[in-house]
């Protein structure tokens, strides 16, 4: 017999890929062996966590299909079990795992699709809160405004990619028209954020992406604009800033 802490340690080892020999010795076997009974638990752990990952990475799941996804998720689960019980918060390391997953090498955009799925998941599970409107800035003098920093809404993230991940995402949605995506088309930088009852993304051009990256890095509006000008001298701050304001991308002035 094992003391409970040792039993749980042995069980955890078995569920993480161990052989479970020590554990099988203390499990009652009859016409169903101890090993077969233990396998029911191991199967459930892998299956249920792969299902949770499929819910968190729906685009990846659609793109590769159930069988491929199940195998890929199963390999990830054994290496990287959750550290807490909220399954919507499980899978932060999955995009990098997909990046290194040899059988997926022929789908070079897949890691970025996983990053997009993860960003949408994080945004969806972020609290809704106040959003900055253009009217909130009316009373601030333009030169003072440039010296201020802004917060994007909680859960916002920029997902840059060398692939047209916005079009790949759209083509993999239920009810998509089945048109082909040209993978050689220009890449996309997507700003992902929480909407009132959903999470969504908008495509940014290269200068806007530089601007948002600087804002996420807590730069002032002026410094963020300079970062954008460095990418594209024709960057129009008032147009791009106005567009982001209209999208309700900002939570507040800092």
Nearest 5°: CA angle at 144, between 143 and 146?
Answer: 70
Question: In the bound complex, what is the minimum distance in angstroms from residue 240's beta carbon to another protein?
Answer: 28
Nearest 5°: CA angle at 252, between 134 and 205?
Answer: 70
Q: Contacting another protein (CB under 8 A), which of 102, 178, 197, 233?
A: 197
Q: Contacting another protein (CB under 8 A), which of 30, 138, 143, 182?
A: 30
Give the interface size with another protein as a residue count (CB under 8 A): 48
| CA 19/CA 14 separation, integer angstroms | 6
Residue with Cβ nearer another protein (138 or 197) = 197
When asked if residue 11 is in the footprint of another protein (CB under 8 A), the reply is: yes
Give the range of 76-84, 162-170, 218-226, 245-253 binding another protein by CB under 8 A: 76-84
**Among 217, 212, 221, which residue's Cα sits nearest to residue 247?**
212
Handedness of CA 124, 130, 136, 140 (dihedral sign): negative
| CA 178/CA 15 separation, integer angstroms | 40
When asked if residue 146 is in the footprint of another protein (CB under 8 A), the reply is: no
When asked if residue 139 is in the footprint of another protein (CB under 8 A), the reply is: no
Question: In the bound complex, what is the minimum distance in angstroms from residue 92's beta carbon to another protein?
Answer: 14
40 C-beta neighbours (distance < 10 Å), count = 10
Question: In the bound complex, what is the minimum distance in angstroms from residue 198's beta carbon to another protein?
Answer: 7
Indicate the burial class of 121 (C-beta count within 10 angstroms; 0-12, 13-18, 19 or more). Answer: buried
Give the range of 158-166, 194-202, 212-220, 222-230 binding another protein by CB under 8 A: 194-202
Q: Contacting another protein (CB under 8 A), which of 19, 21, 82, 105?
A: 82
Residue 74 backbone phi and psi in degrees, to 5: -60, -40
Residues that bind another protein (CB under 8 A): 1, 3-5, 7-9, 11-12, 15-16, 26-28, 30-34, 36-41, 44-45, 48-49, 52, 81-89, 124-128, 154, 196-198
């Amino acid at each position: 017999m094992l003391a409970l802490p040792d039993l749980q340690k042995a069980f955890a080892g078995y569920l993480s890929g161990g052989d479970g020999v020590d554990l099988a010795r203390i499990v009652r076997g009859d016409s169903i062996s101890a090993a077969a009974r233990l396998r029911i638990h191991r199967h459930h752990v892998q299956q249920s966590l792969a299902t949770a990952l499929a819910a968190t990475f729906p685009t990846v799941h659609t793109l590769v299909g159930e069988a491929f996804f199940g195998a890929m998720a199963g390999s990830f689960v054994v290496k990287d079990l959750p550290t807490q019980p909220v399954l919507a918060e499980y899978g932060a390391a999955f995009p990098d795992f997909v990046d290194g997953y040899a059988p997926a090498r022929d789908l070079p955009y897949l890691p970025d699709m996983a990053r997009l799925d993860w960003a949408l998941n994080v945004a969806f599970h972020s609290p809704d809160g106040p959003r900055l409107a253009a009217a909130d800035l009316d009373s601030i003098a333009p030169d003072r405004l440039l010296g201020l920093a802004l917060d994007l809404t909680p859960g916002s993230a920029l997902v840059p990619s060398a692939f047209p991940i916005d079009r790949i995402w759209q083509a993999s949605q239920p009810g998509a028209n089945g048109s082909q995506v040209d993978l050689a088309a220009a890449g996309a930088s997507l700003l992902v954020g929480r909407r009132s009852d959903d999470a969504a993304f908008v495509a940014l051009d290269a200068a806007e992406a530089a601007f948002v990256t600087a804002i996420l890095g807590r730069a002032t509006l002026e410094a963020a604009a300079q970062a954008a000008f460095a990418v594209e001298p024709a960057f129009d701050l008032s147009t791009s800033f106005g567009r982001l304001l209209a999208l309700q991308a900002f939570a507040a002035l800092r």
